[in-house]
Amino acid sequence: MHCQEGVGVPREMITMAPKSLLVRFLMLLFISSVVSAKMRPRLGVQTKFKGVPISSISASSNSSVFFNYTQTLDHFNYRPDSFTTFQQRYIVNSRYWGGTNTSSPIFIFLGAESSIDAQIDTILDDYATKFNALLVYIEHRYYGSSVPFGSWEEAFSNTTTLGYFNSAQALADYAELIVNLKSNLSAETCPVIVIGGSYGGMLASWFRLKYPHIAVGALASSAPILDTDNILPEDYAYVIVSKDFQEESESCYNTIQQSWSIIDSHDNNDLAFLTQMFKLCDPLNTKSELKDYLESIYCDAAQYDYVQPSISLVDIICQGIDGVSNESNILTRIVAGLDAYRGEQLCYDINEYYPPNDRTILGWNWQACTDMITSSGRTHNNTMFQISPYDQNEFIEGCQQIYGATLTPRPHWIATEFGGHDIKLVLQNFGSNIIFSNGLRDPFSGGGVLQNISDSLVAIYTTNGSHCLDILPANEADPIWLTAQRNSEIEIMQGWISEYNSIHNKKNVTDKGM
């Protein structure tokens, strides 16, 4: 999601990909890492207290407080400009905290590719009561209010100012802020567990591997850490989306599969007809716009299926499609599925998933063109979507058209920096205390760790679960399998904390005896 060249760049350039699908699909599956864009954050309407002294945090505090941390721009160089700083926003909730003397844990939620306001409605409030934990939510650099160089416009003005925007710098931000926070709270001995969802889940797992002296463990929800460097088939996510629909209804699956060629059969003179038939708010410029929009809807429904307990978004679409008479034509059924999913509006905004100049999308475009590159395409007729193979050269050329010919994407860097190939063998050698949680209806579960690697590198998944469902707030209507998944996570984290405190207490006894 990207640059000043991103501001005002034509939408089709911003979402450049093979057949204009790759970046669009990446944005769809990563935007709103923890909650669907349709859900509103709980703390978004609260007053943002900036500049409150950190000393005001105590176990007796009764609200979440917003702070700004003076963060280092470049953690990995000693150039004069590396020591430039920017204000990084974070939120502290201490209403449940047992305090420093109790060795109560600190749960750190690692912000991902959006404002932290959109990511704080999670299960952590429920977990905090069980652990007497301090809750901290940290915003990712270049998202929300945490932008360097004084303003978003300046930060995204060129590739030089965007050059400090990558996952390694973000992890170092978290490390520096956590160490500083613990010191200011005199909480150096309190165990830290980092938590994140989707891209944030990837960051959480990588943080535990890179900074094990800071975090005793990590909960990585729906984290597709294997989706890099051609480790996986390029169509894995589309295969899962198709499987979700096919399991729901064979006729629904077949209708969608047949619809693409029927849309293609209309020539450019029929764009007005398609616009009217699908009740679009703006006239179509190409048939690909319509196909991309429908594709986004199907992927969105699969990714966030069962976000509301016992409500299947995939089923809603398929009920709409199958509810129309078999005598109706294919496109009429597709429109009925759209109406069912969107609630039959006067018109549908074809840009709803990718609003022009949306800062979250522009930010992720940059990451998708630099270090967070994945291959996403379809080379076989094994999904309900059209064949559209991934072409890395075409993808890189698209990125260079946005950012300039000097941009050099690094498609292999994530695997080099954090690992991925032979993940079981590698993590067995040096990794520990990571929970990889997934729901198998989530397209990105195919990029996650789905088997235990060791006793402390644990995979917990649910057959009916969807994207980051385990870290959404608990609900009385939650199914038994979801509650069981969360209880398993709690039990494992309790073990980490008990082990840490036991080792720390023994050390104190030894030190006193010396």
Q: Sort strands 85-93 and 134-138 into parallel, antiparallel or unpaired.
A: antiparallel
The contacts of residue 253 (CB under 8 Å, 6+ apart) are 242, 245, 246, 384
Let me know if 60 is exposed, middle or buried by CB neighbors in 10 A (0-12, 13-18, 19+). Answer: exposed
Residue 409 phi, psi dihedral angles, 5° rounding: -60, 150
Q: Sort strands 64-72 and 85-93 into parallel, antiparallel or unpaired.
A: antiparallel
Q: Alpha-carbon distance 220 to 198, whole Å?
A: 8
Torsion of CA 105, 111, 112, 115, to 10 degrees: 160
Residue 476 phi, psi dihedral angles, 5° rounding: -60, -25
Residue in 198, 205, 242, 466 annotated catalytic = 198
Q: Alpha-carbon distance 501 to 219, whole Å?
A: 19
442 is catalytic: yes
Written as six digits, the tokens of 201 are 């889940």
Contact between 86 and 49 under an 8 Å Cβ cutoff? The reply is no
Residue in 94, 121, 249, 467 annotated catalytic = 467
Residue 289 phi, psi dihedral angles, 5° rounding: -60, -45
Q: What is the CA radius of gyration of the chain?
A: 23
Written as six digits, the tokens of 479 are 């199914």
CA angle 457, 460, 466 (to 5 degrees): 135
Sign, CA torsion 398/401/402/403: positive
Residue 140 Cα distances to 204, 218, 240, 380, angstroms:
12, 17, 29, 37
Residue in 121, 442, 470, 478 annotated catalytic = 442
- Specify the residue for token string 């590719």: 113
198 is catalytic: yes
Q: Alpha-carbon distance 168 to 206, whole Å?
A: 9
Q: Alpha-carbon distance 133 to 148, whole Å?
A: 31
Count of beta carbons in the 10 Å neighbourhood of residue 206: 26
Identity at 420, one-letter amino acid code? G
Residue 365 phi, psi dihedral angles, 5° rounding: -55, -40
- Give the residue among 336, 210, 347 at the shortest CA–CA distance from 276: 347
Contact between 240 and 302 under an 8 Å Cβ cutoff? The reply is yes
**Residues with active-site annotation:** 198, 442, 467
